[in-house]
Amino acid sequence: MGNSAARMIPVPKIHVAILMDGNGRWAAARGLPRSEGHRAGVAAVRRIVRVAPQLRIGTLTLYAFSSDNWERPAAEVASLFGLLEDYLRSDAAECTARGVRLRIIGRRDRIPLSLQQAIDSAERQTAAGRILELRIAIDYSSREAILRASCWMLSSLEVSDREFARRLGQVTNGGVAAPDVDLLIRTGGERRLSDFMLWESAYAELHFTQRMWPEFDVADLEAAVEDYFGRERRFGRLPDGAAAS
């Protein structure tokens, strides 16, 4: 194959989803309040977003606030919402310049009005971004989304995967279906999904690391992505070249 033909083959872009766990423990280990762990977590988000396109990541979904996180102390919830609002307001211009499109998934009816407004404005400002889709999950519950999409479809006799995924996209952000997750990363040492992207991660490769999220750096993401590209993805099929007997 000549060089020009090789150049025409599109490089596959992957969807990486991250559970950014460990902010609180990172802060406690340094004698700092938990809010400082979340602040350091935002710095890690910036590092990862900047490098993601170079690692063939086309969609990045970050779990910032689960619907279960409402159970945390009010002061921690308020500090998280404050950090998210600051990020959306301060980084939208850089996202626009880098071709990053911001989309927020999750419920919008319970979060503070000023955060809702920051979301609307950041989504509008970055809408033309085509290099990376950065999806931030806020007040997000995968189970609730699946339930709501299922209720919506109750009157349909038969529903395809694709149609259901489209409905799911509509209930989680009023928009498009998310591509399936290729690689799901959880930092902080725990090994569970915590109600995150359950439908979309049906065939995701899982990567668990002991690293606390504020310490997660470019080399960690590179290692996870490199590991992902080395894995054989079979989607229930036999390995390539294996004859059925």
> Which residues bind to ligand FPP, rule: CB under 6 A?
20-25, 38, 41-42, 45, 62, 64, 69, 80, 83-84, 87, 136, 188, 213
Q: Which of 68, 69, 91, 180 is catalytic?
A: 69
Beta carbon of residue 141, minimum distance to ligand FPP (angstroms, whole number)? 13
Helix (H) / strand (E) element for 149: namely helix 142-152
- Closest to ligand FPP by CB, 42 or 197: 42
Bridge partner list, 65: 138
- Closest to ligand FPP by CB, 105 or 165: 105
Contacts of 24 (CB under 8 A, 6+ apart): 34, 37
Beta carbon of residue 72, minimum distance to ligand FPP (angstroms, whole number)? 8
Q: Taking CA 20 as the corner, what is the angle to CA 27 and CA 209, rounded to the nearest 5 degrees?
A: 90
Dihedral, 22, 197, 59, 34 alpha carbons, nearest 10? -20
Q: Any idea what DSSP says for residue 70? A: G
Active site residue 69: yes
Q: Any idea what DSSP says for residue 69? A: G
Q: Which of 21, 91, 139, 182 is catalytic?
A: 21
Beta carbon of residue 87, minimum distance to ligand FPP (angstroms, whole number)? 4
Whether residue 167 contacts residue 152, with contact meaning beta carbons closer than 8 Å, is answered with yes
Beta carbon of residue 78, minimum distance to ligand FPP (angstroms, whole number)? 13
- Closest to ligand FPP by CB, 42 or 178: 42
Can you tell me which residue has the tokens 């710095």?
43
User: How many angstroms separate the Cα of 243 from the Cα of each of 34, 197, 232, 234, 236?
Assistant: 54, 34, 17, 14, 15
Bridge partner list, 135: 61, 103
- Closest to ligand FPP by CB, 22 or 164: 22
Rg (CA), the chain: 19
- Closest to ligand FPP by CB, 192 or 234: 192
Contacts of 237 (CB under 8 A, 6+ apart): none
- Closest to ligand FPP by CB, 87 or 164: 87
Beta carbon of residue 11, minimum distance to ligand FPP (angstroms, whole number)? 26
Can you tell me which residue has the tokens 């009157």?
155
As a whole number of Å, the end-to-end CA separation of the chain is 34
Query: What positions carry a catalytic annotation?
Result: 21, 69
